[in-house]
Amino acid sequence: MRFGNVIKTVLCKEKRNSVCPLVQRSFWQLLHTKPEKQGSNFGIAFDIDGVIIRGHTPIGNSPQALKRLYRDCGTLRIPFLFLTNGGGIPESKRASELSDLLGVNILTSQVLQGHTPFKDLVHRFQNELVIAVGKGEPAMVMSEYGFKNVLSIDVFASYFDNIDPLSQYKHWTSKKEFSKEISLHSSAFPDRVQAAFVVSDSVDWSRDIQVLCDILRTGGLPGREISHQPPLYFASDDLEYQVS
């Protein structure tokens, strides 16, 4: 089958093996979810932005092309998934949005975003305090993965007075109010951050880099005695990337 320029197959190479196990598992699940007598022995990985959709608009005949991967009864004839370095929203929400835009039923397991491999770290940090950085809904993303104690960097930074030395010059930002029961003072914040996750590209890199440096330098709690440095994980090595 030929889909012209609509379909872009993303091949997983050894040098990008951080996501390969998830891709392999997802293909395996899709291939074996509903065994068929004439099942496909291959699968397809599609990029999303600029390939299937641009912004909130399907590109060309991409919906029709994807429908050809399904049988008339609605089951998959050729298993496929979406593999993108984008993110910032839960896979379940992205799957729902893609289903509405493309007119096919996309499962959550068919969406692999830049931060999807963070699922494999739940067993290590499930009950620990972790910080989620990025635009969109980074804390919700991590919570859906199973992390029990997640704060967005917006909320975390709000607990510390003057942690962003440039905040007075940022007239383009709006002051957010967060409901919390403790005072906005570092001495009232008892827990050390055990890990920080950059889920997607930041909205305010000058602040977030400052806060992350303070977290790493002090061992997870700015303004307190230095302790063991927590790990920092990046979903993508892009500081910014075009998505529409």
Position 210 in a domain: yes
8 Å CB contact between 210 and 165 = yes
Same domain, 121 and 99: no
Examine the fold and report which residue of 68, 85, 112 is the final residue of a domain before the chain moves on. Answer: 112
What does the pLDDT look like over 12-34, one tens digit per residue?
Answer: 333 344 445 565 555 455 545 55
Structural domains counted in the chain: 2
Position 91 in a domain: yes
Domain with 30 in it = 14-112
Q: What is the pLDDT of residue 5?
A: 34
**What is the 3 state secondary structure string of 70-99?**
ECCCCCECCCEEEECCCCCCCHHHHHHHHH
pLDDT by 10s per residue, the chain, length 244: 333 333 333 333 333 444 455 655 554 555 455 544 456 788 999 999 889 999 889 999 999 999 999 988 888 899 999 999 889 999 999 999 999 999 999 999 999 999 999 999 999 999 999 999 999 999 999 999 999 999 999 999 988 888 888 888 887 665 555 444 333 444 446 689 999 999 998 889 999 999 999 999 999 999 888 889 999 999 976 666 555 5
d(CA 28, CA 13): 18
d(CA 129, CA 143): 12
Examine the fold and report which residue of 87, 112, 137 is the final residue of a domain before the chain moves on. Answer: 112
Same domain, 38 and 75: yes
Examine the fold and report which residue of 112, 144, 163 is the final residue of a domain before the chain moves on. Answer: 112
Same domain, 159 and 188: yes
Same domain, 101 and 187: no
Same domain, 192 and 126: yes
Same domain, 108 and 132: no
Same domain, 120 and 67: no
Position 1 in a domain: no
Position 4 in a domain: no
Same domain, 132 and 193: yes
Position 7 in a domain: no
Same domain, 22 and 108: yes
8 Å CB contact between 194 and 125 = yes
Same domain, 125 and 137: yes
Same domain, 129 and 201: yes
Name the residue with tokens 């060309």.
Answer: 60
Position 126 in a domain: yes
CATH number of the domain encompassing residue 147: 3.40.50.1000
Same domain, 170 and 189: yes
Position 106 in a domain: yes
Q: What is the pLDDT of residue 83?
A: 93
Position 242 in a domain: no
